[in-house]
Amino acid sequence: MEYVIFILIALLVIIFAANIKVVPQAQVYVIERLGAYKESWSVGLHFKLPLIDKIANRVSLKERVLDFPPQPVITKDNVTMQIDTVVYFQITDPKLYTYGVERPITAIEILASTTLRNIIGELELDETLTSRDIINNKMRIILDEATDPWGIKINRVEVKNILPPADIQNAMEKQMRAERERREAILRAEGEKTSNILVAEGKKQSMILEAEAEKASAILRAEAKKEAMIREAEGQAEAILKVQQATAQGLRMIKEQELSPEVISIRSLEAFEKVADGKATKIIIPSDIQNIAGLVTSIKEVASDKN
């Protein structure tokens, strides 16, 4: 009897322990009682009644990522291409997520595929290739509205890859290659133009500098010539001044000595003698030469009487 009681107590302990649940972070447990929704357990320690309460669903509140395979879509200009998308979503209401739709992930995938076809069907090929942001925004809005009754929040939708047909890809590559070659030719032409302009500017500056240097050299030569002429004129003026000063000094000395007319006559005769030394081609004889000759004779007579 004691063993039976011990076994019953052990079974009660095991059942009690088995019905104690700890909900981890970022998760919610949906609890049903007798098949009906009872409550949602958040983070912490909880206890459910054995054989009455049941955990219907364990829901993660973390943001999830759904990477869908490429979907064939047709553009407005009848071009078939493959587009694969990535959807980022998060469960905001565990109860609606559990009871709102059967297989919600599959439902999101099908809804994303049909929405993508509808959006691409309104765009042409070029618009599809250049309007990823518009496609992403439209898909996010439509999916978010559609999944709101399921307790799902669509945070972001990204078009991961767009694959046009092979012939269109080849045509696009040729077009891009031609565009790159055109841009390269334009850049090369602009570079050559800039180079020619710089060379011409350099030649122009060089010519300007040469002209300015030649002008400066001519100015310096003119200044030097002017300075030389000024110095030469000053030298001549100084020479003339010195000659005039010497003449004036000689006249002053003659005046100071108070020479008699006889001495002056003798000096004149001596000067006439030097002039007539045979080197001159012309001789100018003074008008009073006879008076001078008479004066010389008188001087000789005076000298002979004294002897």
Are 96 and 158 contained in the same domain? yes
Whole-number Å distance between alpha carbons of 307 and 296: 17
Are 159 and 68 contained in the same domain? yes
CB 55 within 8 A of CB 21: yes
Are 75 and 103 contained in the same domain? yes
Count the domains in the chain: 3
Residue in this structure with the two tokens 């000053």, named with its chain if needed: 234
Question: Is residue 230 one of the residues assigned to a domain?
Answer: no
How confident is the model at residue 151, as a pLDDT?
92
Whole-number Å distance between alpha carbons of 152 and 60: 12
Are 112 and 128 contained in the same domain? yes
Are 12 and 85 contained in the same domain? no
What does the H/E/C string look like for the chain?
Answer: CHHHHHHHHHHHHHHHHHCEEEECCCEEEEEEECCEEEEEECCEEEECCCCCEEEEEEEECCCEEEECCCEEEECCCCCEEEEEEEEEEEECCHHHHHHCCCCHHHHHHHHHHHHHHHHHCCCCHHHHHHCHHHHHHHHHHHHHHHHHHHCEEEEEEEEEEEECCHHHHHHHHHHHHHHHHHHHHHHHHHHHHHHHHHHHHHHHHHHHHHHHHHHHHHHHHHHHHHHHHHHHHHHHHHHHHHHHHHHHHHHHHHHHHCCCHHHHHHHHHHHHHHHCCCCCCCCCCCCCHHHHHHHHHHHHHHHHHHC
Are 155 and 74 contained in the same domain? yes
How confident is the model at residue 281, as a pLDDT?
54
How many CB atoms are closer than 10 A to CB 125?
19
How confident is the model at residue 86, as a pLDDT?
93
In the chain, the largest separation of any two C-alpha atoms, in whole Å, equals 209
Q: pLDDT tens for the chain, 307 residues: list them.
A: 677 787 888 888 788 888 888 899 989 999 999 889 999 999 989 888 888 889 999 999 999 999 888 888 888 888 888 898 999 999 999 999 999 888 898 999 999 999 999 999 888 888 888 888 999 999 999 999 999 999 999 999 999 888 887 777 777 778 778 888 888 889 888 888 888 898 888 888 888 888 888 888 888 888 888 888 888 888 888 878 877 777 777 667 666 665 556 555 656 555 555 555 555 555 555 555 555 545 445 544 544 554 4
Question: Is residue 114 one of the residues assigned to a domain?
Answer: yes
Are 145 and 72 contained in the same domain? yes
Which of 133, 164, 195 is at the close of a domain?
164
Nearest 10 degrees: Cα torsion 47, 49, 55, 60: -10
- Token pair listed for 101: 């739709």
Select from 55, 50, 29, 32 the least CA-distant residue to 40: 29
How confident is the model at residue 290, as a pLDDT?
52
How confident is the model at residue 296, as a pLDDT?
47
Which of 118, 133, 164 is at the close of a domain?
164
Contacts of 148 (CB under 8 A, 6+ apart): none
Are 49 and 92 contained in the same domain? no
Q: Is the pTM of this model over 0.75?
A: no
Question: Is residue 223 one of the residues assigned to a domain?
Answer: no
Question: Is residue 32 one of the residues assigned to a domain?
Answer: yes
Are 11 and 72 contained in the same domain? no
Task: List Cβ<8 Å contacts ≥24 apart for 51-55.
Answer: 53/19, 55/21, 55/29, 55/30, 55/31
Are 266 and 281 contained in the same domain? yes
- Region of 51 (left: φ > 0; alpha: ψ -120 to 50; beta: rest) is left
Which of 164, 188, 205 is at the close of a domain?
164
CB 292 within 8 A of CB 269: yes
Question: Is residue 105 one of the residues assigned to a domain?
Answer: yes
Whole-number Å distance between alpha carbons of 168 and 5: 82
Whole-number Å distance between alpha carbons of 178 and 176: 5
Question: Is residue 142 one of the residues assigned to a domain?
Answer: yes
Question: Is residue 7 one of the residues assigned to a domain?
Answer: yes
Question: Is residue 34 one of the residues assigned to a domain?
Answer: yes
Are 87 and 40 contained in the same domain? no
CATH of the domain at 103: 3.30.479.30
Q: Residue 122's domain spans which residues?
A: 64-164
Are 54 and 72 contained in the same domain? no
